[in-house]
Amino acid sequence: MGLRKDFLWGGATAANQCEGGYNKGGRGLANVDVVPIGEDRFPIIAGKQKMFDFDDEHFYPAKEAIDMYDHYKEDIALFGEMGFKTYRLSIAWSRIFPMGDEAEPNEEGLQFYEDLFKECHKYGIEPLVTITHFDCPMHLIEKYGAWRSREMIGFYENLCNVIFRRYKGLVKYWLTFNEINMILHAPFMGAGLYFEEGENEEQAKYQAAHHELVASAIATRIAHEVDPENQVGCMLAAGHYYPYSCKPEDVFKAQEADRENYFFIDVQSRGEYPAYALKKLEREGVTIQMEDGDLELLKENTVDFISFSYYSSRVVSTDPKVNETTSGNIFASVKNPYLEVSEWGWQIDPLGLRTTMNSLYDRYQKPLFIVENGLGAIDEPDENGYVADDYRIDYLAAHLQAMKDAVELDGVDLMGYTSWGCIDLVSAGTGEMKKRYGFIYVDRDNEGNGTLARSKKKSFDWYKKVIASNGEDLSV
Ligand code: BG6
C-alpha cells in the first residue's frame, strides 16, 4: 500500500511572510504589511486596534521579511534539491492589483509570479497556489470596509480571472482562502475587518464570511471553466477538539467547537449552509444578506479537495475549574494534561492529526491535502552556523507516521503534504523571525538584522530522504 505514487511532497509559505519587497514592482499596501511585531500585534490582527499604515513606533517585519522577492531562484533551487514535488505559495493580491479595484492588473506583479512558477517547473515542482493568504489591499479596506462589502466579490473575481488565464498550464492546484475560519479569530489579518466602536462583530464576520464563500464558489467555477485540469481546494485551520472529560456536556461542547470551524468547509465542500449553523446564527440574531443565485452558486461549485493546516489538537471543558489554558494557532485552548507543548505553548499531538484526517474524510469523502504542519522553534546555529534541529525532525517524523497510519490503516485518501515554513519566515501569529519552522535557516532576527544568507539545517537532508523514499524512511 503506502502513499500515492504521485504523492505531492513539499513545503509551504505565504507571500507576506517571506517575500518582503512590500513596495517593489508596483505592489500596493496590504493589511498584512501593517501588522507589527510586539504587544500591539494581537489587538491589531483581531480588528480591535486600528493600524492602516506604518508608524515610527513599530517595526513591521513583513516589509522585508526574508526577501524572497529577490532570492526566489536560490530558494527554489534548494527546494528542488530536497526533491519537492510541490511548493505551496501565495500570490500577493496587491502585486497584481495594487489598489484592488483597478480594471487592469499590474504587469510587473504578474510577470514576477510567472517567472517564479517557471522556476519551479525547472525542478519538476508543481506550484500549489493560495489565492489569498490573509492579504487584502489596504485601499479595499479603507474604501469598502474589506469583506463586509459585497463589492469584494467582484474584485476577487477579477483577480481570479486574471491569474487563472495568465497561469494556465503553469498552475493547476489552487486554494481559494487560507484558513478561512480565521475570520472568526483574527478578522483584520484574515479578512481586513476592523471594527468600529459598538459594531456588531459577529454580524460583520458572518456577512464577510458569506462574501468569501460566494467568492470562493465563483473562483472554483472560473478555474474549472478556464482549464478543466484545474483542481481547487478549500483550506481550514484544523485541529480536532477533545472534550476534557466524558461528561456529556463536555462532549457536546467539543462538537459545537468543531462545528464552528467546519461550518466554512461544510459550505465549500457540501455546497450548502448546514442546519446547525443556520440555527445558531438565528439564535444569535445574525442575519446574512444574500442575493438571488448565491445558494445555487454555492451548491454548484463545490471544491475538489479539502486542504488544511494542522499543528495541534484542542480541548474544551464546561467546568470553570478546568481553566488552565495554553497557546495555539492564534487562539488559546484548555491545556491537555497528556501532551507536551512547543516553546510557544502549542500542544504536540501527532495522533490528533490522524483523528483530524479521519474526521475530515468521514465528513466530506473528498481527497485531503495537508498544506501546513510543523514545529515553530528557536534554532541555535553552532559555531559553523549549522542547526542540528533534531527536535523538528522528531516532531515531523511523528506526524508523518500518524499521517501514514491514517492513509494505510484507515483508508484516508491524501494528495500530499507540505510542511509549513519550509524556509524560515516571519511568524503570522507573533511577527517573530525567532519562531522558525524551516529546513533552511535564514540569517535574520526579530529586529531585522542579519545577512539573509540561507543555510541547510539537519532536517534538510532528513526531509530529502523522506521524500526520496516516498515516506517509507522516517528514520534520523
Ligand atoms: C497558519 C497560517 O495559521 O499557521 C500561517 O496559515 C502561519 O500563515 C502558521 O504562519 C503558523 O503560525 P505562526 O503563528 O507560528 O506563524
Instruction: Tell me the one-letter amino acid at 453.
Output: A
Task: Give me the residue label for grid cell 446547525.
Answer: 276
Nearest C-alpha neighbor of 132 from the set 91, 86, 192: 91
Interatomic CA distance for residues 331 and 381, integer angstroms:
30
Residue 474 located in a structural domain: no
How many whole angstroms from 103 Cα to the centroid of ligand 1? 32
Residues of the domain holding 413: 8-468
**Residue 428 near ligand 1, beta carbon < 6 Å:** yes
Mean predicted confidence (pLDDT) in 222-237: 98
C-alpha cell at 398: 511523528
Torsion from C-alpha of 156, 157, 161, 164, nearest 10 degrees: 60
d(CA 152, CA 350): 38
Q: Is residue 90 part of a domain?
A: yes
Question: Ligand 1, from 420, 423, 424: best to mutate by most atoms within 8 Å of Cβ?
Answer: 420
Task: Establish if 1 belongs to a structural domain.
Answer: no
SS3 label, residue 437: coil
> Quick one: which atom of ligand 1 is closest to the CA of 437?
15
**CA atoms within a 13 Å half-sphere pointing along the CA-CB vector of 194:** 18
268 in any annotated domain: yes
If we measure between CA atoms, which residue out of 357, 330, 100 comes closest to residue 215?
100
Which positions are catalytic?
372
pLDDT at 333 over 70: yes
Share of the chain above pLDDT 90, in %: 97
Helices (H), 326-450: 350-364, 390-408
Q: Confidence class of residue 1 from pLDDT cuts 50, 70 and 90? A: low
Q: For residue 104, how far is its CA from the centre of ligand 1 (angstroms)?
A: 32
Joined together, the cell numbers standing for residue 441 give: 535557516
Is the model's pTM score more than 0.85? Answer: yes
Of the candidates 82, 73, 51, 63, which has an alpha carbon nearest to the alpha carbon of residue 23?
63
- Is 369 a member of any domain? yes
Q: What is the pLDDT of residue 28?
A: 98
Give residue-wise pLDDT tens across range 71-112: 999 999 999 999 999 999 999 999 999 999 999 999 999 999
Number of structural domains the chain divides into? 1
Counting atoms of ligand 1 from 1, which one is nearest the CA of 179? Answer: 6
Measured in angstroms, how far is the CA atom of residue 374 from the centroid of ligand 1? 10
Closest-lying ligand 1 atom to the alpha carbon of residue 420 = 9
Q: Is 164 in the pocket of ligand 1 (CB under 6 A)?
A: no
Work out the pLDDT band at 328, boundaries 50, 70, 90.
confident
Ligand 1 within 6 A of CB of 329: yes
Is the CB–ligand 1 distance for residue 14 below 6 Å?
yes
CB 338 within 8 A of CB 390: no
Is 463 among the domain residues? yes
Residue nearest to atom 4 of ligand 1 (CA): 329
CATH of the domain at 273: 3.20.20.80
Q: Which three cell numbers stand for residue 423?
A: 524556509
Strand duo 231-237 + 325-326: pairing: unpaired
Query: What spacing in Å lies between the alpha carbon of 290 and ligand 1's midpoint?
Result: 31
Distance CA 359, CA 222 (A): 29
Closest ligand 1 atom to Cα of 429? 14
Q: Whose CA is nearest to atom 16 of ligand 1?
A: 427
Q: Is the pLDDT of residue 463 over 90?
A: yes
Answer yes or no: is 473 within a domain: no
